[in-house]
Amino acid sequence: MLSHHWRSPSAKHTWEAHSTYTADLGVPDRRRYRRTPPGSPTAADLVRPGDTVSTSYSTGGVVIAVKEYFYAAPTGENLSHFTIVYVPRDRVAKYRDCDRHWINECVAVGDRILMLYEANADEVFVVDRALQ
């Protein structure tokens, strides 16, 4: 099969960290981070326990917790980000520890939930709101 995405043999691909984990492994961190502007809703404001979420990479379920963490970036900043913990829809009534899944390093940008590193194009979508 013919590929139309030709690359020069001398061209090198530059890898870039997509998460704090890959940066800690030594992948180059270009220090391009997303931030929630002051006074704007955080990821915890956009998604709450009981909401149903999906991701741009086809995972998701019902949220059981949203937790805030901080990353001490090489820039000297402490960057706020959130972890969304969810379980599959069919396990909501009774779930075990092995049913828990995590979406890490979530940052609210406007009304979108994106990942902390700009190099990471993943996104989280709220597809159903919990009754309040």
Asked, for residue 36, whether it belongs to a domain, the answer is no
Asked, for residue 6, whether it belongs to a domain, the answer is no
- Could you read off the pLDDT of 46-94 as tens digits, one per residue? 999 999 999 999 999 999 999 999 999 999 999 999 999 999 999 999 9
Spatial distance between the Cα atoms of 15 and 86, rounded to a whole number of angstroms = 30
Asked, for residue 101, whether it belongs to a domain, the answer is yes
Spatial distance between the Cα atoms of 36 and 132, rounded to a whole number of angstroms = 25
Asked, for residue 22, whether it belongs to a domain, the answer is no
Asked, for residue 45, whether it belongs to a domain, the answer is yes
Q: Give the range of the structural domain holding residue 63, as residue numbers without chain letter.
A: 41-128
Asked, for residue 97, whether it belongs to a domain, the answer is yes
Q: Answer yes or no: are the C-beta atoms of 108 and 123 closer than 8 Å.
A: no
CA dihedral defined by 82, 88, 92, 96, rounded to 10 degrees?
-80
Single out the residue of 116, 129, 132 nearest to residue 47, CA to CA: 129
Single out the residue of 86, 128, 123, 126 nearest to residue 106, CA to CA: 123
- Could you read off the pLDDT of 2-29 as tens digits, one per residue? 555 555 666 666 789 999 999 999 999 9
Spatial distance between the Cα atoms of 54 and 62, rounded to a whole number of angstroms = 9
pLDDT-derived band of residue 131, with 50, 70 and 90 as boundaries?
confident
In one-letter notation, the amino acid at residue 87 is: V
In one-letter notation, the amino acid at residue 90 is: D
Q: Is the dihedral of CA 19, 70, 103, 34 positive or negative?
A: negative
Q: How far is CA 63 from CA 3, 5, 50, 83, in A?
A: 41, 39, 5, 10
The pLDDT of residue 15:
81
Asked, for residue 13, whether it belongs to a domain, the answer is no
Asked, for residue 10, whether it belongs to a domain, the answer is no
CATH of the domain at 108: 2.30.30
For the chain, the domain total comes to 1
| Global pTM value | 0.86
